[in-house]
A and B are shown apart, each in its own frame.
Chain A
């Protein structure tokens, strides 16, 4: 069981640009986790730093407390599954799975016992004698995964967008296998993706990244309900969080014609910083009649998602979206009353979440 830790890790290119910076992350043994972010956010770089394929220009990589910056992936006992399937095409499935063991001179008796076991878990038992080159992308990825799991000295498995080339209909089968494998072997798995669906489904612990920084690490629930950075609110959830630029006057923070009263010390702490207010569309409540603290808004557009409707609203000089059940009947041009559920409201000062108890008024 291995604990993986990154301390003050940063990696700079020869051009002077940082691929990743200020990375302080920890993975407890057996955790299923994901690095989630758009293309270019640095997640693949981070994965390579953890696996040992890349040596960071700054900071330390620790395995069980020991610094391993200089160690190769082989020495770190880390397995990796790549974006496109990597199999040894001249070997059949059995020999592919046995490859890592045979390279380490594991006795054939052990190999003969272990391979069928692993094949069973992967659902590849009846394909063991098949040549690996002719298999589907899905099976090939399972083989890649299997080569990692077959070893018993494994510290962690890293997965770099492994479902990229998989047929959409096969994806959920692989996702289920991954979860089953993780459940069975309790190995640390770190999964890199730009797809929030994959990340939130697979991982118990998700780190959202953007522009080389790790913005927030937490459970899917935490990331959804309490995003600690505007980008996290935008990136998680479909549609993303409503974000309004805000300004502070005295103890009142306001965006458009919507404002909140803040406790004095909170207001003092955020004075002079760039401010944003955020609320998720699913936490914008829509009423037919006026409610205390609600905003009169006009419906600009209605989008269907099948299971719900998304309203494009304009009220209190703000554009925002709300999510309502698909059974609600509304038309473009209707006036509704929108309120922002207090406990889900977020305030960001310089792109960092601010803690707040509050009272709100609408001018």
Chain B
């Protein structure tokens, strides 16, 4: 279609300006910082890729990176199947379904820092219900001192917070599957498991792709909740990549390092997300969407 006039650009201009201020300019700044050695008050020195090398050789970074990868994949491994299972268990399109969805969706509405605080209260040795529960079972639960307790509490907290997103996406996806497919599977004599495998799962592919991409990208950048709950401890058990980044940038004034780390961070998320995307949308190559 040919463009009749350029009036449309005027509508887009304000948004472009905002984006320029909030995104483009800071992004260019970070690239600059990553290639320089900066101390406040002194002129910047160009150091080429030295900052990147420092980051990649730093043990703190490496450990946090591996820890972060492990965490994200663990999250996906738990949240996706759990979300699908809950969505399958929900009643279809009745008032009961609406109520269930609202209740399940509540954790998504909570500001992330409040989530962290809620869980801190849950797990306080003196007040929390979680220690109370475990102590009754004979286990000495301590989120501040015990690495295992801390790590798994962070995982459970994220599951509690974000699984509803998968549930909501899958619920919508399931409702889009026409009854005829289930009827056909029933007529073909398929068991519930085989029906799930050959009817439900293939047809949930697009919503699951969205869900997996979103959860991966967000969990890879997790910061607020963890910071408030454990502060990264005990030791470095729950020190993820974003924590390292903040410490270097804000606490240590190591702008060069932090900028380089930011770019590496960005690049990793981009690559892994794209890899996920390719795999998930190519699962049945040559298929037409209906």
Contact = CB atoms under 8 A, between A and B. Distances in A.
Interface of A: 51, 53, 72-74, 78-80, 82-84, 86, 88-91, 99-100, 103-104, 131, 133-134, 144, 147-148
B189 interface: yes
B284 interface: yes
Contacts of B198: 88, 90-91, 99
Q: Which of B178, B187, B189, B203: most chain A CB closer than 10 A?
A: B187
B187 to A, nearest CB: 5
A51 to B, nearest CB: 8
Given A86-B180, A88-B202, A80 B187 contact: yes
Given A90-B284, A133-B287, A134-B286, A78 B187 contact: yes
B188 A89 contact: no
Given A80-B183, A80-B187, A131-B286, 4 more contacts: A72-B186, A73-B187, A79-B187, A88-B199
A131 B187 contact: no
Contact of A86 (B181, B190, B284): B181
Closest 5 CB pairs of A and B: A133-B287, A103-B189, A134-B286, A100-B188, A86-B184
A147 B181 CA distance: 13
Contacts, number: 64
B288 interface: yes
20 contacts: A72-B186, A73-B186, A74-B189, A80-B184, A80-B187, A86-B180, A88-B199, A88-B202, A90-B201, A90-B283, A99-B198, A100-B187, A100-B188, A103-B188, A103-B189, A103-B190, A131-B285, A134-B286, A134-B288, A148-B187
Interface in B171-203: 178, 180-181, 183-184, 186-191, 194, 198-199, 201-203
Nearest to A144: B184
Contacts of A89: 202-203, 284, 287
A144 B178 CA distance: 16
Interface of B: 178, 180-181, 183-184, 186-191, 194, 198-199, 201-203, 283-288, 290
A28 B190 CA distance: 29
A131 B284 contact: yes
A67 B89 CA distance: 33
A82 B178 CA distance: 11
Contacts of B203: 89
A90 B197 CA distance: 9
B287 A134 contact: yes
B249 to A, nearest CB: 46
A78 B189 CA distance: 11
Contacts of A144: 184
A73 to B, nearest CB: 5
A34 to B, nearest CB: 20
B193 to A, nearest CB: 11
A86 B218 CA distance: 36
A144 B194 CA distance: 17
Given A73-B183, A86-B181, A103-B194, A147 B188 contact: yes
A90 B178 CA distance: 17
A131 B189 contact: no
A168 to B, nearest CB: 20
Contacts of A103: 188-191, 194
A154 to B, nearest CB: 10
B187 A99 contact: no
Contacts of A51: 187
Nearest to B198: A88
Contacts of B190: 99, 103
Contact of B188 (A90, A99, A133): A99
A100 B189 contact: yes
Nearest to A160: B180
